[in-house]
Structure 1
């Protein structure tokens, strides 16, 4: 009886371990490194890189390692700094979604982006700036 249970548990562990490994491995060229000096988060099989710089905040989107189509895309970004909450609309600007202005975004800032891409389901992406 113990042998059957042990064998069953080992089989389950092996199956889930393999599934988790397969889900995390997207093949060559799909690492999750920042390309623009920001913070990268994966959601819905896409990489979202949030870059907070002086005078602008940008969101770069990659689909399996390649820049995603952002024509017609938009995002609402909510920045949280302690009790302060700022909402910003990001719109296409070249190869990214962007908003111009002075934003309180630095180490410890949390951000949530509600992203709408043409032909895809909307996705919420959470960031913690370093």
Structure 2
């Protein structure tokens, strides 16, 4: 009985210690906001008035070649849609200047080359 109890305790400690290692997509590598959808990680980052979405699959860059997308920006009662285009290996970027202020909600809709579409929601804090 004691041997079973010690085995259960050991398993519980092992699982709780590895829980953080098994999780993916929780760190922002580009100073943005990270969300997960369809087992992919998406990071929304802004720089110089442009919005960039970085896509990763278990910390590996996911190709955006041939992908299309758009951002739907909800700020108060205003709704704006902006196209995204592939840039680099795992990036989708906007054209023109975009300002995202506190409280803004952003929905990224990306259709990959294999025709899979993923919608990801971000909240600007």
Per the normalisation by structure 1, the TM-score is 0.74
CA 31–103 in structure 1, closer or farther in 2 if over 3 Å, else same: closer
Do the aligned residues in 2 keep the contact of 1:81 with 1:104 (CA within 8 Å)?
no
Over aligned residue pairs, what C-alpha RMSD do you find? 2.1
Q: CA deviation at 1:120?
A: 5.3
Runs (4 or more) in structure 1 with deviation over 3 Å come to 25-29
Q: Give CA deviations for 1:95-128 in whole Å, capped at 9, x if unaligned.
A: 3100132213122110011111122521111110
Relative to the length of structure 2, the TM-score reads 0.76
Q: Unpaired runs of 5+ in structure 1?
A: 1-20
Q: Which residue of 1 aligns with 2:71?
A: 77
Partner of 2:112: 117
1:63 aligns with 2:30: no
Asked if 1 retains the 8 angstrom alpha-carbon contact of 2:105 and 2:122, the reply is yes
Contact 1:33 1:40 in 2 (8 A): yes
What count of residue pairs does the alignment treat as equivalent?
A: 107
**Unpaired stretches in structure 2, ≥5 consecutive residues:** 1-14
